[in-house]
Structure 1
Amino acid sequence: MTQNDIQIINEIEEIKNEAILTLAKLINLYGLTLSESRLFSIMFLENNPMTLDEMSQSLGMSKTSMSTGVRSLLDAQMVERIWKKGIRKDLYMVEKDLYKTFSNAFIENWHSAIYHNTKTFNEISEQLNIISPKVDDPELQIALSQYSQKIDSIIHFYKWLAEVFKEIQEKIESRQ
């Protein structure tokens, strides 16, 4: 191999590293850790399914870390386990449609946040409704009533958000 070939290989590696880092920054916005984001990026930019050993070697991280990362990516429906005849190790491959991958992850994160936050604010509203009749002080009643109205407006906002994301999800599903 010539010196020129070695230089070109090094330049290609730098380009690949920049692509992985840049894509990982985007994916990180979807609620994954930076290592999970880099893992997805490497898997996406590879043309072939990868084993945990190959992922570990590519990222220079432990196989246990790769297993944890893949599990998160499986949960987010960003990768899938595949089978190939003659290969005994599990292989993983990313969803090649970035639109589908990111929209699924994005919407799932929002659905989860909306569900949990709505549940919490409904519990707060119930607590306020229990406490409110016990209050004798007129100023405290007014303050509590105003606070309760704000909590109700937050719950209404979350219901609206849930509808918005339901519509977005329906549009995405009709695209597929």
Structure 2
Amino acid sequence: MIKNNTQIANAIEEIKNNAILNLAKLIKLYGLTPSEARLFSMMFLENVPMTLDDMSKSLGMSKTSMSTGIHGLLDAQMVEETWKKGIRKDLYKTEDNLYKSFANTFIKGWLSEIEKNQKIFYKILNDINSILLQCNDKNIKTSLSNYVQKIEYIIQFYNWLEQIFKEMASKAEKQ
């Protein structure tokens, strides 16, 4: 069935919106806001450097929202500023390697949280052990010893998570 140009344009627009929406669902899991995820998805799929005005027009959002979103994506190392002769406005393009984007945001975020929590649980373990050395009450010692086992298990879990995310980061760098 032959369609007119308006119908074709509408079909293309619907396909693009569907692609942006569904990629944004994944990208949002990287810890980005929904608008940052949509912005990245649109820029990634369009695959051309864009100004804030271009982004605003494409997503139907304010230039201020685009500026906020692009700064979040710059911080996450998912976009970079670029230059093109004859264009005075700032241009931005996405990191085209989704593996690297994943490593830059999601994996690094997890590794940071893991490290922070490992330090906390090691401190808790040291605090409990200090109390155990000073305490003579058998019931308290038994209770704290059980608690130590749980804390050590948590630390073991964090060490396992850290190893997995470091392996993921290593594999992402090779892609």
Same fold, TM-score > 0.5, yes or no: yes
Q: Deviations over 1:31-90 (max 9, x none)?
A: 111111101011011131111122122222222222221122122221111112222211
Count how many residue pairs are aligned between Structure 1 and Structure 2: 173
Distance 2:153 2:103 in 1: 27
Q: Give SS of 1:12's match.
A: helix
Please name the residue that 2:114 is paired with: 114
Distance 2:107 2:101 in 1: 10
Q: Give yes or no for the alignment of 1:127 onto 2:127.
A: yes
- TM superposition shift of 1:129: 2.8
Q: Which residue identity does 2:97 align to in structure 1?
A: D
Q: Give yes or no for the alignment of 1:67 onto 2:59.
A: no
- Does the 8 Å contact 2:20/2:42 carry over to 1? yes
Structure 1: segments with no counterpart, 5+ residues: none
Structure 2: segments with no counterpart, 5+ residues: none
* More relative contact order, 1 or 2 (CA 8 Å, 6+ apart): 2
Q: Give SS of 1:81's match.
A: strand
With 70-79 and 119-128 compared, the bigger mean Cα shift is at 119-128
What is the TM-score with the length of structure 1 in the denominator? 0.87
Please name the residue that 1:160 is paired with: 160
Distance 2:41 2:30 in 1: 13
- TM superposition shift of 1:136: 4.2
What is the TM-score with the length of structure 2 in the denominator? 0.87
Identity across matched positions, percent: 62
| Aligned alpha-carbon RMSD (Å) | 2.0
Q: Which residue identity does 2:11 align to in structure 1?
A: E
Distance 1:130 1:65 in 2: 51
Please name the residue that 1:171 is paired with: 171
Dislocated runs of 4+, deviation >6 Å = none
Q: Give yes or no for the alignment of 1:57 onto 2:70.
A: no
